Amino acid sequence: ETGVTQSPTHLIKTRGQQVTLRCSSQSGHNTVSWYQQALGQGPQFIFQYYREEENGRGNFPPRFSGLQFPNYSSELNVNALELDDSALYLCASTPTWTATQHGYTFGSGTRLTVV
Amino acid sequence: AQKITQTQPGMFVQEKEAVTLDCTYDTSDPSYGLFWYKQPSSGEMIFLIYQGSYDQQNATEGRYSLNFQKARKSANLVISASQLGDSAMYFCAMRGDQFYFGTGTSLTVIP
């Protein structure tokens, strides 16, 4: 089975621009979540999607938005980029969000640099 | 509120020795899952071990074991027979309504 795939792997954007990051979830996983990991920090939860609906959101402003598609792949969109948005963005999928024994399978991340 | 605390920013261990990475958690939910992930410099989070809140036995996965003390709300990771390839960041995480991560511990294995 394939794991979680994220694209692109690296990205450089200018402050004020918009960016879209993509994630293909692991086969059979209907729940996708996104995390922001600043340098030297642990991942911070951005939001989660279950069957195309957002079902959880962390402490991130509305300029962070997302989508989940019928095949459970997902996008993270960030508008009006700020320098502090520079981070590693991780996507993770899990078979279901209702059972705590299921961990998340993570992708390798997209490293975003805002200049 | 749910929270994970890792108090060791960095740890060093001699090759072939055992090392314990500390993790404490806070939750009011009776049902939760505790996880440890390894993050090498490539960035990917690699699942190591899981402990459920109702599990009576401590979890083990090869060289990894989890010292689960529910009353103390601690879930320490023990790595036995350290290898050079174990050098990485290690994150403790808890699954509740979302995944909560600690700030991580950087482990360096010395030859």
What is the reported pLDDT for A27? 84
Region B47-52: mean pLDDT is 92
What is the nearest CA distance from A104 to chain B, expressed in angstroms?
8
What is the reported pLDDT for A29? 87
* Structure confidence at residue B98 as a pLDDT band (50, 70, 90): confident
Region B85-91: mean pLDDT is 97
What is the reported pLDDT for A1? 55
Contact A43 B98 (CB under 8 A): no
Region B28-43: mean pLDDT is 91
Q: Does A8 touch chain B (CB under 8 A)?
A: no
Which chain A residue is nearest to residue B31, measuring alpha carbons? A100
Q: Does A72 touch chain B (CB under 8 A)?
A: no
Compute the distance between CA of residue A105 and CA of residue B1 in angstroms, rounded to an integer. 24
Q: Which residue has the higher pLDDT, B97 or A13?
A: A13
- Residues of chain A whose pLDDT is less than 50? none
Quick: pLDDT tens for A34-58. 999 999 899 999 999 998 999 889 9
What is the reported pLDDT for A102? 65
Which of A10, A55, A100, A102 best probes binding to B when mutated, by most B CB atoms within 10 angstroms?
A100
Average pLDDT of chain B is 94
* Structure confidence at residue B17 as a pLDDT band (50, 70, 90): very high
The DSSP result for A46-111, as a single string, is EEEEETTEEEEE-S--TTEEEEE-TTS-EEEEE-S--GGG-EEEEEEEES-SS-TT---EE---EE
Q: How many CA atoms lie within 13 A of B64 on its CB side?
A: 19
* B10 contact residues in A (CB cutoff 8 A): none
Contact A101 B52 (CB under 8 A): yes
Terminal CA-to-CA distance of chain A, rounded, Å? 37
What is the reported pLDDT for B80? 97
